[in-house]
Structure 1
Amino acid sequence: MATVLIPLPRQDFDPSEVAVPWQTLTGLGHRVLFATPDGGPASADELMLTGRGLDPWGRVPGLSRIVLVGRVLRANRDALTAYRAMERDAAFRAPLSWEQAGQDGFDGADGVDGLLLPGGHRARGMRAYLESELLQRLVVGAFQRDLPVGAICHGVLLAARSVDPATGRSVLHGRRTTALTWSLEGRAWSVARRTRFWDPDYYRTYREAPGQPAGYLSVQQEVTRALAGPADFLDVPAGAPHAARKSDGRHRDSVADDRPAFVVRDGRYVSARWPGDVHAFAAAFAELLAEGQR
């Protein structure tokens, strides 16, 4: 069976985008390793675990436990169950450091057969992950070795920022991909800046500077700028089966129902948009691994 590396920030990763792939891969007998900045255990974005703090009364003692908006935006029951199981996993509790995982491109992660890049949006923890030169070199090494690579949500942004020194271009240049779309990102931001009014940019990892158009620093637009052309960024096509369910930001996929999911595969690279795609994303990445083992 394969060994997969999942690099994480020290805090604020999305629990669904890590725990569901972990559950899928380990359930198939694969070995999953984790890596964090300092080798200490990582922690997920607590708002995505509890939903508390996403309603207008989220800072009021006693009332904060009443979760309405937070119930919609947080991880669902399947993801929370997977996360609680992952918290007990020995590899999750004792991760590698980023330096151990990739001191020289991907060569530091000895025996690793695939790389999975999850996301998360909270700037407090995610910026260090997205801006890490260590992780960017590790991503370049995985693509140079043609290993299976999966990226979801902001994880695609890490891949887009990973520039191959042999070409001077992003490893995603010339590939087709999806990522967190501006439609989904902007919609969540619009809700949260009203309901979490004391922290209105919670859903925006990066905000536009004065003079930059709306969405210029969104995941979709930055990823698109790294591609060979705008047409290589894919979203749900108009008229696709279940297009409304895939795009409304309310429906999430499950093991038994992939209708809400949208996943893009290009060779040995697979990408997805947000936690609502995560079961289909994990299954597609597992298929990449299986093909490599045949």
Structure 2
Amino acid sequence: MNVLCLLPAADYDPTEAATSWHALTRAGHAVSFATPGGQPAHADLRLTDTGFGLFNAIFMTRRPDLDLYRQMAASPAFRAPLSYAQVNPADSGALLIPGGHAAGMRSMLESADAQAICTHFFTAGKPVAAVCHGVLLPARSIDPATGRSVLHGRRTTALPATLELGAWALTAAWLGRYYRTYPQTVQAEVTAALARPGDFDAGPLLPVRDSAENHGAGFIVRDGRYLSARWPGDCHRFAAAFVEMVAEAG
């Protein structure tokens, strides 16, 4: 099956894209990419190269996941993405929406073309997987039959406010609003798009990072053919669950 991965012009989280890319390609699926202008989209440089000084151990991308990102970025499909406007969503059987928090993410989250692509996958009943800020895209994608978000009536998670505000508080003195993509938290906006506030599940209060060897530490929410996760620390479990979901869809 071909899985479409939507990326912004820049600034996405490398773990959130590359772990699923790696799991999908290992399982024999093709992954194609689309960006706003059809140019290769590289991840947030602070997460891959620049770093966070004393906070590197907390916020930097883990080395094994960074290695997966480098492999993904060298792949022919990554180097030749479509633009959002060129995408025919009928050509793909599933959709992957990574997140990220730096300003470049807005080029995907605020794109009417990206929202229309997302709506197609939901209304067609195809598998969709979104993580962290990526969940804002389906939250903003409107089902024309109902006039409501495609997440209305579904259960989901996304970046919890505790993680978003905590990261901002630790780094605001020198990074300003780097961790605040929008004035409203991701959790608040996503919850407002749901049928009931209880349909948002923030997961355990103290999240623990998973790994390729230990998926159990990750947290995911699956509702039918829709899968969501909170942050990079969930992404190995998220990737494995997405591969299973794609396989079930045939």
**TM-score category of the 2 structures, normalised to the smaller one:** over 0.9
Displacement of 1:78 in angstroms is 1.6
In the TM superposition, 1:1-294 aligns within 5 A as 2-52=1-51, 54-55=52-53, 68-101=54-87, 108-123=88-103, 125-194=104-173, 197=174, 199-207=175-183, 217-236=184-203, 243=204, 247-249=205-207, 251-293=208-250
Displacement of 1:233 in angstroms is 0.2
CA distance in 1, matches of 2:164, 2:80: 32
C-alpha offsets along residues 118-147 of structure 1, whole Å, 9 cap, x if unaligned?
A: 101002x11121110101111111011100
CA distance in 2, matches of 1:126, 1:292: 29
C-alpha offsets along residues 187-244 of structure 1, whole Å, 9 cap, x if unaligned?
A: 11111113xx2x311001012xxxxxxxxx10000000000010000122xxxxxx4x
Report the equivalent of 1:211: none
Report the equivalent of 1:104: none
Q: Do 2:23 and 2:240's aligned partners in 1 also have CA atoms closer than 8 Å? A: yes
Displacement of 1:50 in angstroms is 2.3
Larger radius of gyration: 1
Displacement of 1:51 in angstroms is 4.7
CA distance in 2, matches of 1:130, 1:74: 23
TM-score by structure 2 length?
0.97
Q: Do 1:157 and 1:222's aligned partners in 2 also have CA atoms closer than 8 Å? A: yes
Q: Do 1:13 and 1:121's aligned partners in 2 also have CA atoms closer than 8 Å? A: yes
Letter of the structure 2 residue corresponding to residue 158 of structure 1: L
Displacement of 1:161 in angstroms is 0.4
Letter of the structure 2 residue corresponding to residue 165 of structure 1: P
C-alpha offsets along residues 12-63 of structure 1, whole Å, 9 cap, x if unaligned?
A: 01100001110110011100000011111111100011252x23xxxxxxxx
CA distance in 2, matches of 1:90, 1:170: 34
* More helix, by proportion: 2
- Which runs of no fewer than 5 residues in structure 2 stay unpaired? none
Secondary structure, in 3 states, of the residue corresponding to 2:155?
A: coil
Q: Do 2:128 and 2:225's aligned partners in 1 also have CA atoms closer than 8 Å? A: yes
CA distance in 2, matches of 1:133, 1:87: 26
Letter of the structure 2 residue corresponding to residue 155 of structure 1: G
Q: Do 1:25 and 1:32's aligned partners in 2 also have CA atoms closer than 8 Å? A: yes
- Which runs of no fewer than 5 residues in structure 1 stay unpaired? 56-67, 102-107, 208-216, 237-242
Of 252-261 and 40-49, the range deviating more from structure 2: 252-261
Letter of the structure 2 residue corresponding to residue 115 of structure 1: L
Q: How many residues align?
A: 250
C-alpha offsets along residues 61-101 of structure 1, whole Å, 9 cap, x if unaligned?
A: xxxxxxx3123201101210101111110000000110011
Consecutive aligned runs of 4 or more in structure 1 exceeding 3 Å deviation: none
Q: What fraction of aligned residue pairs are identical, expressed as a percent? A: 51
TM-score by structure 1 length?
0.83
